[in-house]
Structure 1
Amino acid sequence: MRNVDEFVAGSLDEVKGHALRALWHAAHGDWNAAHEEAQEDEDRDSAWVHALLHREEGDQSNAEYWYRRAGRPVFRGSIAQERVEMISALLDKV
């Protein structure tokens, strides 16, 4: 299993799954690609990432909708902290 730093430094070609691919794009500053990737799947992991992306965008009400879809509480920490926690949690599933 890879850690968060290796994930971010690695190649997108190595990343499997829409949620992790969206997080890879987000970590590299490409919000649009991240958002498109998050929308490719309707599972809870992608919804969770979708919530983070709307937080990052500043659209809190839309983010809260996606947290509900993901079955997760609204995250109250920083966006960077949540991204690290998401990547770590999703890497643990791979």
Structure 2
Amino acid sequence: MTNLHQQALDKASQGNWDGAHAIVENENDALSCLIHGYLHRVEGDKFNARYWYTRAGETMPSNSLDDEFVRLSEMVNS
């Protein structure tokens, strides 16, 4: 599954929001939900982002989008 997560983050880093979203939107594991939430933060949809973070068992962080991308990348690579 980590390959799927890395693919989504790669697309997000390239500015391909739709491509990244398409990868995680039908996945239910916690890391996919976190990435999904992050993508909605990028989009500016805080309500939807909060939903996906909650599904992952976390509260939506108040860190910067750059910091959250690094955190998610570290989770994928751990």
Q: What is the match of residue 37 of structure 1?
A: 23
Distance 1:51 1:77 in 2: 13
Task: Name the larger-Rg structure.
Answer: 1
Following TM superposition, by how much is the alpha carbon of 1:18 offset from its aligned partner in structure 2, in angstroms? 2.1
Letter paired with 1:62: N
> Tell me, which stretches of 5 or more residues in structure 2 are unaligned?
none
TM-score (norm: length of structure 1):
0.76
Mapping of 1:1-94 within 5 angstroms?
16-92=2-78
What is the CA distance between 1:77 and its match in structure 2?
A: 1.0
Moved segments of 4+, more than 3 Å: none
TM-score w.r.t. the length of structure 2 is: 0.91
